[in-house]
Structure 1
Amino acid sequence: MNADNRKGELAELKGQLRQLAGSRAPGVEDLKRELYKKVISYLTVGIDVSSLFSEMVMCSATSDLVLKKMCYLYVGNYARGYPELALLTINFLQKDCQDDDPMIRGLALRSLCSLRVKNLVEYLVGPLQRGLKDSNGYVRSVAAIGVLKLYHIAPSSCTDNDFPVTLKALLLHDSDPQVVANCLCSLLEILSIEGNVSEAALREKESLLHRNVILSLLNRFKEFSEWAQCLVLEVVSKYVPEDAQETHDMMDVLDDRLQHANSAVVLATIKVFLHLTMSMADVHQKVYERIKAPLLTLVSSGSAEQSYAVLSHLHLLVMRAPMLFASDYKHFYCRYSDPSYVKKLKLEMLTAVANESNTYEIVTELSEYAANVDVAIARESIRAVGKIALQQYDVNAIVDRLLQFLEMEKDYVTAETLVLVKDLLRKYPQWSHDCIAVVGNVSSKSVTEPKAKAALVWMLGEYAYDMSDAPYVLEGFVQSWAEEDFAEVRLELLTAVAKCFFKRPPETVQILGAALSFGFADANQDVHDRALLYYRLLQHSVEVAERVINPPKQAVSVFAGDQSSEIKDRIFDEFNSLAVVYRQPSYMFLDKDQRSPFAFSEDTGSSIIGPQSPGREDLPSDIDARDNDLLLSAHEKEDSRAVSNGSHGYSSSKFHTLQEFTDSAFAPRSPSPTQPIRNARATPLPPAAVSSTAASPLLAVDDLLGLGPSASAEPFPPLKLNPKPVLDPASFKRKWGQLTVALTLEYTFPAQAMVGLTGPQPLVRHMQTNSVQCMASGNAPLKFFFFAQLADAPANTGFFLVELVVTTSSGLASAKIKADDSSLAPAFADSLQSALSKFGSL
Structure 2
Amino acid sequence: MAPPAQSQRSPSPSQPSGKGEVSDLKMQLRQLAGSVTPGTDSSKRELFKKVISYMTIGIDVSSLFSEMVMCSATSDIVLKKMCYLYVGNYAKCNPDLALLTINFLQRDCKDMDPMIRGLALRSLCSLRVTNLVEYLVGPLESGLKDGNSYVRMVAVIGVLKLYHISAVTCVDADFPEMLKHLMLNDPDTQVVANCLAALQEIWSLEASQSEKASMDRETLLSKPVIYYFLNRIKQFNEWAQCLVLELVAKYVPSDTNEIFDIMDLLEDRLQHANGAVVLATIKLFLQLTLSMTDVHQQVYERIKAPLLTLVSSGSPEQSYAVLSHLHLLVMRAPMLFSSDYKHFYCQYNEPFYVKKLKLEMLTAVANENNTYEIVTELCEYAANVDIPIARESIRAVGKIALQQYDVNAIVDRLLQFLEMEKDHVTAETLVLVKDLLRKYPQWSHDCIAVVGNISSKNVQEPKAKAALIWMLGEYAQDMQDAPYVLESLIDSWDDEHSAEVRLHLLTAVLKCFLRRPPETRKALGAALAAGLADFHQDVHDRALFYYRLLQHNVSVAELVVNPPKQAVSVFADTQSSEMKDRIFDEFNSLSVVYQKPSYMFTDKEHQGPFAFSEETGNLSVGVESVSNAVSAQMVEANDKDLLLSTSDKEESRGPTSNGSEYNAPAYDSSSNLSLPAPSPQGGLAVDDLLGLGWNAAPNIAPSPPPLKLNPRAVLDPSTFQQKWRQLPVSVSEECSINPEGVAALTTPQALLRHMQGHSIHCIASGGQAPHFKFFFFAQKAEAASIYLVECIINSSSCKAQLKIKADDQGSSQDFSALFQSALSKFGMP
Counterpart of 2:404 in structure 1 is 392
Does structure 2 conserve the Cα–Cα contact (< 8 Å) formed by 1:608 and 1:746?
Answer: no
- How far apart, CA to CA, are the structure 1 residues paired with 2:206 and 2:508? 55
Does structure 1 conserve the Cα–Cα contact (< 8 Å) formed by 2:661 and 2:704?
Answer: no
Residue from 388, 399, 419 that aligns with 1:407? 419
Residue 701, structure 1, aligned to residue 686, structure 2: yes
Spell out, residue by residue over 1:572-607, the C-alpha distance to the aligned partner (whole angstroms, 9 max, x if none): 111111111000111100011222031542569345
Counterpart of 2:608 in structure 1 is 596
Once the two structures are TM-superposed, the CA of residue 51 in structure 1 deviates from its matched residue by 2.1
Once the two structures are TM-superposed, the CA of residue 130 in structure 1 deviates from its matched residue by 2.4
Counterpart of 1:309 in structure 2 is 321
- How far apart, CA to CA, are the structure 1 residues paired with 2:461 and 2:813? 41
Does structure 2 conserve the Cα–Cα contact (< 8 Å) formed by 1:514 and 1:620?
Answer: yes
Once the two structures are TM-superposed, the CA of residue 402 in structure 1 deviates from its matched residue by 0.8
Residue from 129, 138, 154 that aligns with 1:142? 154
Amino acid at match of 2:405: Y
Matches within 5 A, 1:668-817: 694-696=681-683, 700-709=685-694, 712=697, 714-716=700-702, 733=734, 736=736, 746-747=758-759, 755-757=784-786, 759=788, 776-778=802-804, 802=817, 804=819, 815-817=822-824
Does structure 1 conserve the Cα–Cα contact (< 8 Å) formed by 2:789 and 2:802?
Answer: no
- How far apart, CA to CA, are the structure 2 residues paired with 1:783 and 1:23? 75
Matches within 5 A, 1:434-445: 434-445=446-457
Matches within 5 A, 1:338-357: 338-357=350-369
Does structure 1 conserve the Cα–Cα contact (< 8 Å) formed by 2:269 and 2:281?
Answer: yes
- How far apart, CA to CA, are the structure 1 residues paired with 2:825 and 2:339? 69
1:389/1:718 CA distance change after superposition, 3 Å: closer
Counterpart of 2:470 in structure 1 is 458
- How far apart, CA to CA, are the structure 1 residues paired with 2:705 and 2:582? 60
Residue from 651, 657, 667 that aligns with 1:605? 657
Spell out, residue by residue over 1:603-636, the C-alpha distance to the aligned partner (whole angstroms, 9 max, x if none): 6934567679x9xx8433426x9xxxxxxxxxxx
Once the two structures are TM-superposed, the CA of residue 231 in structure 1 deviates from its matched residue by 0.9
How many equivalent pairs are there? 713
Once the two structures are TM-superposed, the CA of residue 43 in structure 1 deviates from its matched residue by 2.8
Residue 337 of structure 1 aligns to a residue whose secondary structure is: coil
Matches within 5 A, 1:287-302: 287-302=299-314
Amino acid at match of 1:479: D
Residue from 107, 119, 133 that aligns with 1:121? 133
- How far apart, CA to CA, are the structure 1 residues paired with 2:158 and 2:490? 72
Counterpart of 2:529 in structure 1 is 517
- How far apart, CA to CA, are the structure 1 residues paired with 2:810 and 2:309? 66
More divergent stretch after superposition (749-758 vs 272-281): 749-758
Once the two structures are TM-superposed, the CA of residue 87 in structure 1 deviates from its matched residue by 1.5
Amino acid at match of 1:605: S
Once the two structures are TM-superposed, the CA of residue 782 in structure 1 deviates from its matched residue by 14
Spell out, residue by residue over 1:26-65, the C-alpha distance to the aligned partner (whole angstroms, 9 max, x if none): 3322322232223223333443322211111111122222
Does structure 1 conserve the Cα–Cα contact (< 8 Å) formed by 2:397 and 2:410?
Answer: yes
1:107/1:738 CA distance change after superposition, 3 Å: closer
Matches within 5 A, 1:522-541: 522-541=534-553
The sequence identity of aligned pairs, in percent, is 67
Residue 63, structure 1, aligned to residue 72, structure 2: no
Residue from 98, 104, 120 that aligns with 1:92? 104
Counterpart of 2:382 in structure 1 is 370
Once the two structures are TM-superposed, the CA of residue 775 in structure 1 deviates from its matched residue by 8.8
Residue 777 of structure 1 aligns to a residue whose secondary structure is: strand
Residue 241, structure 1, aligned to residue 290, structure 2: no
Once the two structures are TM-superposed, the CA of residue 484 in structure 1 deviates from its matched residue by 1.1
Counterpart of 1:273 in structure 2 is 285
Spell out, residue by residue over 1:683-709, the C-alpha distance to the aligned partner (whole angstroms, 9 max, x if none): xxxxxxxxxx73437xx2322454431
- How far apart, CA to CA, are the structure 1 residues paired with 2:810 and 2:201? 55
Does structure 1 conserve the Cα–Cα contact (< 8 Å) formed by 2:34 and 2:71?
Answer: yes
Does structure 2 conserve the Cα–Cα contact (< 8 Å) formed by 1:525 and 1:607?
Answer: no
| Structure of greater Rg | 1
1:781/1:44 CA distance change after superposition, 3 Å: farther
Amino acid at match of 1:576: N
Once the two structures are TM-superposed, the CA of residue 108 in structure 1 deviates from its matched residue by 0.9
Does structure 1 conserve the Cα–Cα contact (< 8 Å) formed by 2:325 and 2:593?
Answer: yes
Does structure 2 conserve the Cα–Cα contact (< 8 Å) formed by 1:144 and 1:167?
Answer: yes
Does structure 1 conserve the Cα–Cα contact (< 8 Å) formed by 2:787 and 2:806?
Answer: no
Counterpart of 1:37 in structure 2 is 49
- How far apart, CA to CA, are the structure 2 residues paired with 1:746 and 1:708? 30
Once the two structures are TM-superposed, the CA of residue 304 in structure 1 deviates from its matched residue by 0.8
Residue 261, structure 1, aligned to residue 273, structure 2: yes
CA RMSD across the alignment: 3.3
- How far apart, CA to CA, are the structure 2 residues paired with 1:140 and 1:740? 74
Task: Give unmatched runs, 5+ long, in structure 1.
Answer: 626-648, 651-663, 668-692, 722-728, 762-773, 789-799, 806-813, 820-824, 826-842
1:706/1:429 CA distance change after superposition, 3 Å: farther
Residue 622, structure 1, aligned to residue 671, structure 2: yes
Residue 568, structure 1, aligned to residue 550, structure 2: no
Does structure 2 conserve the Cα–Cα contact (< 8 Å) formed by 1:288 and 1:324?
Answer: yes
Greater share of helix: 1
Once the two structures are TM-superposed, the CA of residue 191 in structure 1 deviates from its matched residue by 4.1
- How far apart, CA to CA, are the structure 1 residues paired with 2:552 and 2:477? 25
- How far apart, CA to CA, are the structure 1 residues paired with 2:93 and 2:111? 28
TM-score, reference length from structure 1: 0.79
Does structure 1 conserve the Cα–Cα contact (< 8 Å) formed by 2:662 and 2:701?
Answer: no
- How far apart, CA to CA, are the structure 1 residues paired with 2:35 and 2:62? 23
Counterpart of 1:836 in structure 2 is none
Does structure 2 conserve the Cα–Cα contact (< 8 Å) formed by 1:299 and 1:306?
Answer: yes
- How far apart, CA to CA, are the structure 1 residues paired with 2:346 and 2:706? 70
Amino acid at match of 1:694: Q
Does structure 2 conserve the Cα–Cα contact (< 8 Å) formed by 1:784 and 1:804?
Answer: no
Once the two structures are TM-superposed, the CA of residue 420 in structure 1 deviates from its matched residue by 0.6
1:4/1:517 CA distance change after superposition, 3 Å: closer
Counterpart of 1:422 in structure 2 is 434
1:135/1:334 CA distance change after superposition, 3 Å: same
Once the two structures are TM-superposed, the CA of residue 497 in structure 1 deviates from its matched residue by 1.2
- How far apart, CA to CA, are the structure 1 residues paired with 2:370 and 2:25? 74
Does structure 2 conserve the Cα–Cα contact (< 8 Å) formed by 1:777 and 1:785?
Answer: no
Counterpart of 2:793 in structure 1 is none
Counterpart of 2:239 in structure 1 is 227
Residue 747 of structure 1 aligns to a residue whose secondary structure is: coil
Once the two structures are TM-superposed, the CA of residue 754 in structure 1 deviates from its matched residue by 7.3
1:112/1:779 CA distance change after superposition, 3 Å: farther
- How far apart, CA to CA, are the structure 2 residues paired with 1:485 and 1:479? 14
Amino acid at match of 1:496: A
1:775/1:336 CA distance change after superposition, 3 Å: closer
TM-score, reference length from structure 2: 0.80
- How far apart, CA to CA, are the structure 2 residues paired with 1:305 and 1:233? 23
- How far apart, CA to CA, are the structure 1 residues paired with 2:414 and 2:215? 61
- How far apart, CA to CA, are the structure 2 residues paired with 1:583 and 1:46? 40
- How far apart, CA to CA, are the structure 2 residues paired with 1:139 and 1:436? 77
1:28/1:786 CA distance change after superposition, 3 Å: same
- How far apart, CA to CA, are the structure 1 residues paired with 2:308 and 2:658? 54
Task: Give unmatched runs, 5+ long, in structure 2.
Answer: 1-10, 612-634, 640-652, 708-730, 743-753, 761-777, 791-799
Amino acid at match of 1:714: I
Counterpart of 1:284 in structure 2 is 296
